[in-house]
């Protein structure tokens, strides 16, 4: 890998000057627009060469070859609008979404808040997206672009699907199947998200009695509509009790799932440096970032003990450094994802982690 530019070391000052005082959702849109502009102007061609993971980091998981074990979690690119631009930053995979069967605006703003002292976020975005039918052609174009630019070692494209807010729980399976029918053909792997705290009732689908038939139906529809096996994973919450984590593991084995992603955001607020009164004004939502690290590691260890290595474990929650990624790999994770630290570490974050892993 080529040496990273000096700007990689200047980002903290840039963040403090331009983004720290800006509304968090606006800052996200501004930052993402800058990443997309680098691609559209051709500036990211050199960036692509500088950030491309070393060949030694190639990892085979779920029957797919990942250029690096480190990828970008769902939530950053909800719409599939800038996935190819993000790929130029060195991520081994990018998970798009969460995408729902129908378009929806999400929850009213403000709905994204930074806890800078905690290196964390609180969000109640509410799966804001254009809907599966609108996102599908973007994913098709993205796959073609990634193949053209990277060849056989292209970043892997994951697709994360969730329930439309207005759809009743008893009709959730059909809603997930509508997304599957539209999106699976463009996905390298598919994720069923039943763990966001921001869609009313969604976490009830983590109950095994509801979850097992849902996953079985999505898997059957994905394979039927694509004519191939589409690796399927489920994303779970850190707030599950240990017994429920064990039940998810047993179900994953019984259904022959390809992977489990652990964990999503938490509704807990313990142990934060940000003043409680300030957190109270932010309201409800899922907490992500550094405070999730301990519980994420606990769930990872518990799942790895319970799961055969034929079921991939993708660890996410509180990942910041290359050392964090390596720790999770050593604890049995097959892949590691990050998101919140991206907002604090800047565009060279993934490349920096890949360099640390390659040493």
The residues carrying an active-site annotation are 196
Tokens representing residue 14 in the block: 């840039």
Cis peptide before 13 (omega within 30 of 0): no
Pairing of strands 335-338, 120-123: unpaired
Residues facing 66 on adjacent strands: 59
Tokens representing residue 238 in the block: 């850190």
Tokens representing residue 180 in the block: 């599957």
Is the distance from CB of 303 to CB of 329 less than 8 angstroms? no
The residues, any chain, with a CB within 8 Å of residue 208's CB and separated by 6 or more, are 247, 248, 251
- Rounded to the nearest 10°, the torsion over CA 354, 148, 85, 130 is -120
Is the distance from CB of 286 to CB of 124 less than 8 angstroms? yes
Cis peptide before 247 (omega within 30 of 0): no
At 97, give phi and psi (nearest 5°): 125, -170
Distance CA(78)–CA(98), nearest Å, equals: 6
Is the distance from CB of 289 to CB of 117 less than 8 angstroms? no
The separation between the first and the last C-alpha atoms of the chain, rounded to the nearest angstrom, is: 11
Q: Where are the alpha helices (DSSP H) in the chain?
A: 7-14, 24-40, 44-51, 83-87, 132-150, 172-183, 208-226, 242-255, 276-282, 293-306, 322-330, 340-345, 349-358
Three-state SS at 49:
helix
Distance CA(56)–CA(246), nearest Å, equals: 34
């Amino acid at each position: 890998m080529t040496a990273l530019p000096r700007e990689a070391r200047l980002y903290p000052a840039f963040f403090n000057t331009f983004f720290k005082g800006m509304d968090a959702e606006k800052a996200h849109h501004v930052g993402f627009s800058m990443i997309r502009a680098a691609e559209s102007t051709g500036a990211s061609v050199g960036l692509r060469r500088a950030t491309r993971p070393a060949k030694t980091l190639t990892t085979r998981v779920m029957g797919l070859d990942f250029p690096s074990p480190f990828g970008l979690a769902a939530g950053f690119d909800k719409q599939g609008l800038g996935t190819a631009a993000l790929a130029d930053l060195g991520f081994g995979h990018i998970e798009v979404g969460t995408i729902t069967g129908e378009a929806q605006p999400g929850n009213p703003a403000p709905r994204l808040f930074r806890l800078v002292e905690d290196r964390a976020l609180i969000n109640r975005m509410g799966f804001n997206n254009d809907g599966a039918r609108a996102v599908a052609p973007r994913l098709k174009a993205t796959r073609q672009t990634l193949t053209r630019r990277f060849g056989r070692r292209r970043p892997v494209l994951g697709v994360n699907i969730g329930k439309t807010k207005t759809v009743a729980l008893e009709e959730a399976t059909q809603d997930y199947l509508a997304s599957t029918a539209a999106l699976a053909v463009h996905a390298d792997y598919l994720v069923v998200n039943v763990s966001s705290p921001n869609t009313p009732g969604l976490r009830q689908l983590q109950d095994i009695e509801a979850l097992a038939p849902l996953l079985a139906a999505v898997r059957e529809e994905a394979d039927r509509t694509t004519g191939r096996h589409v690796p399927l994973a489920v994303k779970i919450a850190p707030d599950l009790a240990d017994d429920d984590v064990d039940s998810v593991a047993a179900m994953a084995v019984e259904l022959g799932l390809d992977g489990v992603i652990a964990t999503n955001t938490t509704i807990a607020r313990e142990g934060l440096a940000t003043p409680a009164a300030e957190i109270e004004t932010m309201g409800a939502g899922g907490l992500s970032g550094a405070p999730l690290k301990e519980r994420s590691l606990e769930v990872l260890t518990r799942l790895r003990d319970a799961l055969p290595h034929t079921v991939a474990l993708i660890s996410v929650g509180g990942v910041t450094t290359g050392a964090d990624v390596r720790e999770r790999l050593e604890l049995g994770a097959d892949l590691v994802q990050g998101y919140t630290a991206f907002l604090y570490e800047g565009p060279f974050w993934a490349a920096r982690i890949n360099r640390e892993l390659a040493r």
